[in-house]
Structure 1
Amino acid sequence: MKFLAVATAVVSTLLLATSNVEAHVTANPSVGVSGSYFQTSFRVPHGCDGNATDLVIVEIPKNVTSVKPRATYPWNTTINMIPLAVPITTPTGVVNTTIGSITWSNGNLPDAMYEDFSLQFKLPQMTGPLYWSVYQHCVNGGWNNWTSLPDAKGAYAGSPAAMINVTATAPAAPGAANPSTGGDSKSAAVASQIFGLGRVALVGAGALMLAML
């Protein structure tokens, strides 16, 4: 019984550490090609100190265009326009505004559940990280502002902003092996990423239990 109690404590600790890794708003998928049309979902994984989420705002980064949100029932979806710093002249007239943010409101997302808030848009001509500020309001009046950017050492002063990595070319398909190197080591690495830290934690804890019995 003592061995079982110790193993249970190990499992709990490892799973808690795993949940904290994904305890912020993320873009899924999070890799896109420069200048391409792209669809992603911003995942809100929890509430504010245990309280349900009732409003989410995603701020559109500069130079991201052709933005369209997906209606997420039963939330109300609002497209918020802002003035352009420099108006754009088109064959059909002058464009003075652009989409500044998307708001999903009047919902109720319990702390124990998650929701994906999806957008379709055109990525800018650039490469590297593209950061998105996401604001989360909860029924108790609290806010989680996911707006912090990493410093030179990769550390965050506050809640990290969501990020999309913009690449020059499409990412390689998961599991694709390089014939010149045999592919075994790369396949193993990909498998490890797919299963994730949570599964590794469970397998490790299981091995520990067997070793102690």
Structure 2
Amino acid sequence: MSRTTTGMSRHIRRSAAVAALAAVALTGLATGASAHVTADPRTAEQGSYTKVSFRVPNERDNARTTKLVIEMPSDPVIEHVSVRPVPGWKVEVERAKPPKPVKTEGGELTEYVSKIIWTGGEIEAGRFEEFDVSMGPLPANADRVLFKAAQTYSNDEVVNWDQDPGDGSSEPEHPAPYLRLTPKAAAEPVAANAANGTTPAAAASPAGDGTARLLGGLGLAAGVIGIGVGALGLTRARRKA
């Protein structure tokens, strides 16, 4: 093996080692920054129904998480809430009277789910659990929903995740889980095409399809040529070595 080839191998190994260390460092930073109660997914559509998973990691090395309390929003309230069972955990749902009248299709809403409480289970150090809640309809005139959370440990410590995260530019120490709401999606193009008696497939012109095939063929040919040139260069390099 030539001196040039040996030097190149050392450079490749050194670069790989640096990249690996950087990846480990970034992973550690991401883990530290996200080690709090969060809502997944982070976004949902205004006025829709969705399932929210409250992800709860155990941040303590000397205690286990034994209780979780989620406060549902009170203004506006969410009319329909249902909880998915979590193996090993008991769930209790508290209800309250809405702070102001809420009109529904069946009349006026007299009570809503104000708190969801999970107890009886354990989340050990270095692990997390997810608690699923189906809810809706989500507020139609709001850009987000906050869910204040309280996490209790086996040593009786209680951590309240109840601070407003703001716009996310400077996260507080104990941010509350939140769901960002986006406007309803515009009508699908299929509906407009159907009104005109066409579909997206029928509206596509044969000329456009032929152009796409031609471009695809050219791209494939360029790829084959590139592979050949690369192989030739590698062969020459080995002969010089």
- Deviation at residue 85 of structure 1 after TM alignment: 2.5
Contact 2:57 2:123 in 1 (8 A): no
Partner in structure 2 of residue 75 of structure 1: 89
Identify the structure with the greater strand proportion. 1
Q: Is 116-125 or 83-92 further displaced after alignment?
A: 83-92
Distance 1:60 1:154, change over 3 A: same
Contact preservation (8 Å) 1:148, 1:156: no
Verify the 8 A CA contact 2:78 2:112 in the aligned structure 1. no
Task: Give, in whole Å, the separation in 2 of the partners of 1:119 and 1:145.
Answer: 20
The answer to whether the 8 Å contact 1:55/1:137 transfers is yes
Provide the rounded CA distance (Å) in 2 between the counterparts of 1:153 and 1:44: 20
Kept after mapping to 2: 8 A contact 1:147/1:158: no
User: Which position in structure 2 is the counterpart of 1:133?
Assistant: 148
TM-score (norm 2): 0.61
Give 1:23 shift: 1.0
Deviation above 2 Å: which 4+ runs of structure 1? 3-15, 47-50, 83-97, 150-158
**Alignment partner of 1:98 out of 100, 112, 116:** 112
Query: Which moved further from structure 2: 21-30 or 37-46?
Result: 21-30
Task: Give 1:14 deviation, angstroms.
Answer: 3.0
Kindly, what percent of the aligned residue pairs are identical?
Answer: 26
Contact persistence 1:77–1:103 (CA under 8 A): yes
The gaps in structure 2 that reach 5 residues or longer are 1-14, 187-241
Q: Tell me the matched-pair count.
A: 170
Give the alignment's TM-score, normalised by structure 1.
0.68
Q: Which has the larger radius of gyration?
A: 2
Structure number with higher relative contact order (C-alpha < 8 Å, ≥ 6 residues apart): 1
CA RMSD of aligned residues (A): 3.1
- The change in CA–CA distance for 1:42 and 1:89 in structure 2 (over 3 A counts) is closer
Cα pair distance change 1:96/1:141, threshold 3 Å: same
The 5 Å alignment of 1:1-213 reads 12-48=24-60, 50-62=62-74, 63-86=77-100, 95-122=109-136, 123-151=138-166, 154-170=169-185
Contact 1:31 1:165 in 2 (8 A): yes
How far apart are 1:138 and its partner, in Å?
0.6
